[in-house]
Amino acid sequence: MDKEKLKWVANSSLLVDFLFRDVLAIKPGHIRIGLDYGVGIGTFAARMREQNVTIVSTALNLGAPFNGIIALRGLIPLYATLNQHLPFFNNTMDLIHTIGFMDGD
């Protein structure tokens, strides 16, 4: 859990990581809702909630009950499979975040 405390708050060794304040600075005041599509426990969504941004977190439950952990954190979990169509209209999200699929984390 110590690793989770520093995610998106402090610089890491990965070149592909952005700090959450850098992401919000792209369009200050305009990022209000997003999607966290990844394998994890919703740490990105928790960080963004601290900045008044609502993030829906997908939970794939690959080897662990991630959707339960996300819900226990007071976040919005969405159980999804890899080939499932997500229940959102086009242009609904201001931000889409993914981890664990493209960067190998």
pLDDT in tens, 29-71: 899 999 988 777 888 888 889 889 999 988 776 767 888 888 9
Q: Is residue 28 in a domain?
A: no
83 within domain boundaries = yes
| pLDDT surpasses 60 at 105 | no
**Which amino acid would we find at residue 102?**
M
Is residue 66 included in any domain, yes or no?
Answer: yes
- The answer to whether residue 44 sits within a structural domain is yes
The parent domain of residue 66 ranges over 2-9+34-99
3-state DSSP call for residue 37?
strand
Whole-model pTM: value is: 0.74
Instruction: Count CB atoms within 10 A of the CB of residue 81.
Output: 9
Q: Name the band, by pLDDT with cuts 50, 70 and 90, for residue 1.
A: low
| Per-residue CA distances from 33 to 2, 48, 55, 57, 89 (Å) | 27, 9, 6, 11, 13
Is 75 among the domain residues? yes
Residue 39 resides in a domain: yes
Q: Which of 25, 20, 1, 24 is nearest to 10 (CA)?
A: 20
